[in-house]
Amino acid sequence: MADYKATFLFIGSSYYHYENLICQTMRKVMILLFVLIPVFSNCTKDDSELIAQIREIAWNSLDDQEKSTVIIDWTQAKVEMTTYNDKSAYSVIFNTDADALLGPITVYVDPVTKKVLGYAGRF
């Protein structure tokens, strides 16, 4: 009977040890998350400012006739990272009233120099 009680006490103390270890680990993880969340939220802010700048560059490259056909607010145009002539670029897509016939206006902007590289063909 004494062996049974000793085994039970060992298992109980071992369980307490692991439970305590898990709690300590969870505290560390929570602290790490609270520290990293502001860091990641700042990255998103910087990215959104860059995307807005890329949109504005693409918008300013359009002539007045092209601008008049855009059916969405130009500040909401879709921006994606892609390639243009084997070079990394942002594509800015402006939906127009002639999308069904010609497709949207797509402007390619260099991410480094922030200059317009070219336009996608519209059919």
Token pair for residue 82?
A: 């892609």
- What's the CA gap between 30 and 79, in Å, rounded? 34
pLDDT of amino acid 28: 75
Which tens digits make up the pLDDT trace of 32-65? 666 656 555 544 445 789 999 999 999 999 999 9
The full DSSP string for 58-76 is: HHHHS-HHHHHHB-S-GGG
77: buried, middle or exposed (CB in 10 Å: 19+, 13-18, 0-12)? buried
- What's the CA gap between 24 and 43, in Å, rounded? 29
Type of residue numbered 115: K
Q: Say how many domains are in the chain.
A: 1
Residue 76's pLDDT band (cuts 50, 70, 90): very high
Helix-strand-coil split of the chain, %, nearest 5: 60, 20, 20
DSSP state of 105: E
Q: Is the pLDDT of residue 31 over 90?
A: no
pTM of this structure: 0.63
pLDDT of amino acid 18: 64
Q: Is the pLDDT of residue 67 over 70?
A: yes
Q: Is the pLDDT of residue 22 over 50?
A: yes
Per the structure, the complete domain to which residue 68 belongs is given by: 2-119
